Structure 1
Amino acid sequence: MKDEVIGRLERWMKGERQPPFEAEIWPTGRCNLNCVYCRPSGSKKEELPPKKIFKVVGDCVSLGVKHFSFGGGEPFIRRKLALSLMRYIKTNGLSGSVITNGTLFTPNDIRELIQIGWDEIIISLDGPDASTNDFQRDKGTFKKVVKAIRTFKHEKEREASDSPHVSINMVLTNRNYKKLPEMIELIHNLGCDSLILQSLMQITTRCKELKMNKEQTMELRDIIMEAHSLAKDFEIRSNMLHFIQSEYIEKADDVPKLLTKDLKEKTGFLGAPCYQPWFKIMIGQRGEVGPCGSLATDSPLNVRAHKLNEIWFGDFFDRLRESMLQKEVPKECRACCTQKIIENEIIREKLENIK
């Protein structure tokens, strides 16, 4: 977690209102894949036009945003727009990340991202081989993704560049959990920097056949320790040790309970289940605004009709912040992901250690 995020949260804790540190932007909700656990939404006609998205990014910069993340949908469905936004962000001396399925990169895209000094690419990959990955993410994706990552590795070596860092995002299921050590080996061989594990959520009916049972969840602990040892040897960062706690698998569909599980004795700012309303603003493909994808979807606010600074310092965000201070987690948060729970735990620990 970036020090500046903690610094801004500390000032919020003291009653000093702060601008958002991060803006997450979805250029599109469309996707070129049909993953078993995902339900992409959105249509081309609903998307914000490029001119409006650039206006939004500029407004974010004026507001005080220092880091941009792009998601969706698959951002590179709108390749020209995505690359233009990424160039603009780096030209303005800001940092950025993008989460992508990694199947649409061209060699020229990869070279450009290296040349502009893009900070992080998070690529979804669910197994160390085609049969495991492609069952969950569409036939042929493993080959395309590995080819793209190898190209990143080759071009970074050719340019003597450390950027962008390449991280792998992996959804744990009963088909891939035993292959975590092999996954670490692959990530190392591909020159990636980190592995981000995510719990499987029952978003679609097809998820049921992939859910881990209690026996598999218990078995996962030993597998994690083996994979963690390898990751340590290879200097690969990972959140995998958190998944030794079986509740991250078993209660993945009850995020509000996970967010509040250790907060009974904590009060005030340190007892807030989620800190995103204090440091992050999210703009969806239709212009909807919230602190995250879960809370932006049905938000009454939209950049087509409202100014960003008025949204951030307005009633909607203030009510969300007060709700979090009261440990009242909105029902929409059930759709959140495990990594956000982990990030909030890290933030809280850092805030508690402030002298």
Structure 2
Amino acid sequence: MSNFEKIINEDEIYRVVSEASNTEAGQYFAKFLMKKGFKLTYDSGKKQYFINSFLPTIPSKAWDKAMNTLDSIKNGDRKLFQSDVVVTGRCHCNCWHCYRNKSSRYDLNLESIKSFIEQAYELGVANIGITGGEPMLRNDIKDIINFIPEGMQAQLYTTGHKIDDEFCKFLSNSNVSRVIISLDHYKEEVVVKTRDNKNAFRESLDAIKVLQANNIYTVVTICIIDSFTSDEIEEYFKFVSELGIQEIRIVLPIPQGKIEGMDCKMNYKVAKRMIMDIKEKYINNPDYPNVVLFSEFESAKCMGCSAGIYYLTLNNDGAYTPCVAVPLSFGDINQDKVKDVLEDMSQFFKCAGRTCYGRKIGRIIQDMGIDTGKIPLGTELSKTVAEKYIVEGLPPEFYDGFFNDLF
């Protein structure tokens, strides 16, 4: 029997979040979640609540750290809220929308991974993603996970490759609080074709089943394709709901890598409208998982895009990038401290953005005619590109309200 229960009562949601932290940020978060209609998922086994896969669980040391970080940011400190570490560029799939297909296939060495996690922790990070490529291709993946300290939680991004019962039991005793599985369709033939791997569908389903059997918070990520109809999206929702997962994370194609230069504007508009309609239909249904539309969560009306200011990625070649999906670099872990790089980036990232930085910068790179045969771009060229789009002005609603005590 599942330990997870969807919480939809607004008063209970406010009580849980407001009582979890006495910090200014914690109280503000409770009000903001209420205003935006967020739901919670309760894990009765660990007695913790999940807002979504972007944020630490409540109550937890990681949540306390996250709220303290936000308070420090409000006080003018240069802090990181979230990070990702790309532990490998290798992948056994060849997905149609992959924004990393021009990146190197190296494994990032353990020393660099450990150093980055330690530095990120000191700079305020309470939630870190372990991503790739396919992280599960690394034989030392358990060593990497063991680097995650108390007071920090991690999410593992994977296709489901090599996720078995033994590994799930290891995860249950680690600081990985959730696993995010890529699954783009409910039809096996579509997944096999779009991921160019005959085992892709079965691996994802097998992983989801064993994760649920071990009561691990499981998220499925779907990247919306042009041919999706509203009926197909709804069918997908029903399919993954029956698998027992806790969250559906919906992303839209980023015009980098394999689809560099693609005009996704119509795709974004049509897909977002369809998804919002379906989300509203099921948001208060306790039998359906929570739904997070990436472009909504990172929009001007919510948290915005934190790339380069509150969020930083360590690439698998050792380069620091503003986001896992942004092909710019601003230093190297073998030469530069995270704190110094973050400070240097402040000339380009003055606040959280009101739109996706990756989409903006992708168009700029294309307009400049820059060769993207090898990414991320070098630091000097990256700074030249970044000068074309300085993130500044009015911050997204979450930060605007927090900084200015609007509610």
TM-score (norm 2): 0.63
* Contact kept? 1:149, 1:190, Cα under 8 Å: yes
Residue 69 of structure 1: CA displacement? 1.0
* Contact kept? 2:299, 2:355, Cα under 8 Å: no
Q: Secondary structure at the match of 2:170?
A: helix
Q: Which of 80, 84, 92 is 2:143 aligned to?
A: 84
**Unmatched tracts of structure 1, length 5 or more:** 157-163, 249-257, 263-269, 336-343
Instruction: Tell me the equivalent position of 2:312.
Output: 281
1:56 aligns with 2:87: no
Residue 289 of structure 1: CA displacement? 0.8
1:184 aligns with 2:213: no
Residue 198 of structure 1: CA displacement? 1.4
Residue 303 of structure 1: CA displacement? 0.5
1:128 aligns with 2:192: no
1:37 aligns with 2:37: no
Q: Which of 79, 87, 107 is 1:27 aligned to?
A: 87
The 3 A distance-change label for structure 1 pair 327 and 141 is: closer
* Contact kept? 2:309, 2:349, Cα under 8 Å: yes
Q: Which of 158, 161, 164 is 1:100 aligned to?
A: 158
Q: 1 or 2, which has the higher helix percentage?
A: 1
Instruction: Tell me the equivalent position of 2:378.
Output: none
Q: Which of 333, 337, 340 is 1:310 aligned to?
A: 340
Deviations along 1:205-251, one digit per CA (max 9) or x if unpaired, are: 6799997978x9759846753464245322411135978xxxx9xxx
* Contact kept? 1:134, 1:140, Cα under 8 Å: yes
1:232 aligns with 2:291: no
Instruction: Tell me the equivalent position of 2:377.
Output: none
Instruction: Tell me the equivalent position of 1:332.
Output: 361
Give the distance between the partners of 2:355 and 2:186, measured in 1 at CA: 40
Identify which range, 323-332 or 3-12, moves more after superposition. Answer: 323-332
Residue 353 of structure 1: CA displacement? 6.0
* Contact kept? 1:171, 1:198, Cα under 8 Å: yes
The 3 A distance-change label for structure 1 pair 300 and 154 is: closer
Give the distance between the partners of 1:227 and 1:320, measured in 2 at CA: 35
AA at the equivalent of 2:236: M
* Contact kept? 1:102, 1:148, Cα under 8 Å: yes
Identify which range, 138-147 or 114-123, moves more after superposition. Answer: 114-123
Deviations along 1:132-191, one digit per CA (max 9) or x if unpaired, are: 3222223331111101111111222xxxxxxx3111110111344432222222222222
The 3 A distance-change label for structure 1 pair 171 and 88 is: same
User: For residues 2-13 of structure 1, what are the structure 2 equivalents within 5 Å?
Assistant: 2=55, 8-9=69-70, 11-13=72-74
Give the distance between the partners of 1:242 and 1:306, measured in 2 at CA: 32
Give the distance between the partners of 2:89 and 2:246, measured in 1 at CA: 27
Q: Secondary structure at the match of 1:121?
A: strand
Give the distance between the partners of 2:356 and 2:258, measured in 1 at CA: 29
Residue 99 of structure 1: CA displacement? 1.5
TM-score (norm 1): 0.72
**Unmatched tracts of structure 2, length 5 or more:** 1-53, 56-62, 365-394
AA at the equivalent of 2:212: K
1:167 aligns with 2:227: no
* Contact kept? 2:102, 2:257, Cα under 8 Å: no
Instruction: Tell me the equivalent position of 2:383.
Output: none
Instruction: Tell me the equivalent position of 1:339.
Output: none
Aligned residues: 310
The 3 A distance-change label for structure 1 pair 58 and 212 is: closer
Instruction: Tell me the equivalent position of 1:322.
Output: 350
Q: Tell me how large the CA RMSD over aligned residues is.
A: 4.0
Q: Secondary structure at the match of 2:87?
A: coil
Instruction: Tell me the equivalent position of 1:267.
Output: none
Q: Which of 122, 126, 142 is 2:201 aligned to?
A: 142
Residue 55 of structure 1: CA displacement? 2.4
* Contact kept? 1:26, 1:72, Cα under 8 Å: yes
Residue 10 of structure 1: CA displacement? 5.5
The 3 A distance-change label for structure 1 pair 228 and 150 is: farther
Give the distance between the partners of 2:73 and 2:97, measured in 1 at CA: 36
Deviations along 1:255-313, one digit per CA (max 9) or x if unpaired, are: xxx978x8xxxxxxx9x964333322211101111331244x4324000111222222x
Give the distance between the partners of 1:242 and 1:30, measured in 2 at CA: 27
Q: Which has the higher contact order (CA 8 A, sep 6+)?
A: 1
Residue 199 of structure 1: CA displacement? 1.5
Give the distance between the partners of 1:349 and 1:232, measured in 2 at CA: 28
The 3 A distance-change label for structure 1 pair 52 and 274 is: closer
Instruction: Tell me the equivalent position of 2:29.
Output: none
* Contact kept? 2:152, 2:175, Cα under 8 Å: no
Give the distance between the partners of 2:352 and 2:279, measured in 1 at CA: 35
